[in-house]
Amino acid sequence: MLKYVRISIVSIFCLISGRSIPEDYLLDTQKIITISINDSTAYKRLSYLCDTFGPRLSGSRNLEKALDWIISEMKADGFSKPRGERVRVPTWIRGDESLQLILPFKKNLSILGLGGSVATPKGGIKAEVIVGSSFEELDEQGKKVRGKIVLFNAPFTTYGETVQYRYKGASAAAKYGAIASLIRSVGPWSMNTPHTGGMGYDKNHPKIPHAAITMEDAMMLGRLHDRGERIVMDLRMNARSVADRWSRNVIAELPGSEIPDEIVVLGGHIDSWDVGQGAHDDGGGCVAAWQAVKLIKDLGLRPKRTLRIVLWTNEENGGRGNMSYRNEHLSELKNHILAIESDGGVFNPRGFGFTGSDEARDMLTSISRLLLPIDANLIFKGGRAADVAPLNDEGVPVMSLKVDGSKYFWYHHTNADTFDKVDFIEFNRCVAAMAIMGYVVADMDDRLPR
């Protein structure tokens, strides 16, 4: 690996000599890649975070204990002012839940209630099930839906499209008088793996319980329905939303050596759903951002501008962390040079998405050539990841780390989003990509234009 990296660096040097990209950073880039690819500090930290605290839902003790540990480790790392900035977060508690198929035969089905769902009545909901594959099919059923459970058996197309059944399915079904709604888990692949995630209610319709079943069971129920079988289920959920609780955004810095008021943000969201370990979503992104800045510090590189690690809370079910960060730091935002978030898993990085001016994009495209040795040199359109989008609304140029996303939605919001799914080399390449991009933008003579 090292040999490969070194040869590539030399090739890049030859390739780019004479062009208008920051040749000054070739040596530092080589150092960052060489060290990051083989260092196990961050990988071990991610493992410890995942195994020790478990999933980190907003409002949970797991999350707050994880934040305590992170802040304490950041202090040990020697960062400037590691701290938690307090944020009130919505708090939803899953409680017990079960779903039993009663007719045409008995079977216990795996479910995950969707975040924000109300409970069933205490005795559960036992009702006939109407199966449809789309909102349109529901509309066609019309009055037949009253008093029944609706199952949206929508095949996965894109996340953005299919997730609509998770967000809006309950109210779409309640509009026709359904008493509960179920969705086929939002993902392209399953090994009997239900997916949770956020949902909302339209205030014009009654709030009904809303949960996800596995792809396998949804497809089976779809087939039973197509064969004309009468389907009856018993759904029990005692999920509840309680009063907002305190959480924190975690912040730590490597102060700029010349222009400390100018800030480059690197971060991820530290909360997760209440299943699995939140490893790819987004413990990995948080630890990668943290390690990227630690690496720069440990290498003795002191960029001109400040590098700030921000680990936002409550991305999954409220976005209160990113709104709070924007509000609390509003006066600083004119000097936020760039904000980079990793929230697509820590698989092999391919580059960064970017939202900002064309002039800035050209500059970042030049810098991105430094990432060619780790094949992460592409600049895509669009960098408005959830937690940096509010900063972009205020004019801050933003980036999101782009990775090989082919398996991201396999694990997303499931009990399978666990540390074992994170590959050592791939994760470290994410660290290297974040470190190089953050470092060069923080250190180069020119301020990244807006």
Which residues bind to a copy of itself, rule: CB under 8 A?
47-48, 50-52, 54, 104-105, 107, 110, 189-193, 215-216, 219-220, 223-224, 227, 276-277, 410-411, 414-416, 418-420
Q: How far apart are CA 180 and CA 166, in angstroms?
A: 13
Q: Give least dist CB 195 to a copy of itself, A.
A: 10
Active site residue 23: no
Cβ proximity to a copy of itself: between 195 and 297 the closer is 195
Half-sphere exposure of 433 (CA within 13 A, CB side): 36
Q: Give least dist CB 93 to a copy of itself, A.
A: 15
Residues in Cβ contact with 448 at an 8 Å cutoff, skipping those fewer than 6 apart: 337, 338, 356, 360, 363, 364, 397, 441
Cβ proximity to a copy of itself: between 409 and 439 the closer is 409
Is the separation of the CB atoms in 184 and 219 below 8 Å? yes
Cβ proximity to a copy of itself: between 216 and 244 the closer is 216
Q: Give least dist CB 193 to a copy of itself, A.
A: 4
Q: How far apart are CA 376 and CA 39, in angstroms?
A: 19
State whether residue 237 is helix, strand or coil. Answer: strand
Angle at 40 between CA 39 and CA 42, to 5 degrees: 105
Q: Give least dist CB 270 to a copy of itself, A.
A: 18
Is the separation of the CB atoms in 229 and 102 below 8 Å? no
State whether the Cα torsion 124-130-135-139 is positive or negative.
negative
Q: Give least dist CB 320 to a copy of itself, A.
A: 26
Q: Which one is catalytic: 253, 315, 316, 341? A: 315
CA distances from 126 to 37, 120, 147, 166, 180 (A): 54, 10, 10, 21, 10
Cβ proximity to a copy of itself: between 25 and 419 the closer is 419
Cβ proximity to a copy of itself: between 51 and 161 the closer is 51
Q: How far apart are CA 281 and CA 260, in angstroms?
A: 31
Q: How far apart are CA 320 and CA 312, in angstroms?
A: 9
State whether the Cα torsion 98-101-107-112 is positive or negative.
negative
Active site positions, annotated:
315
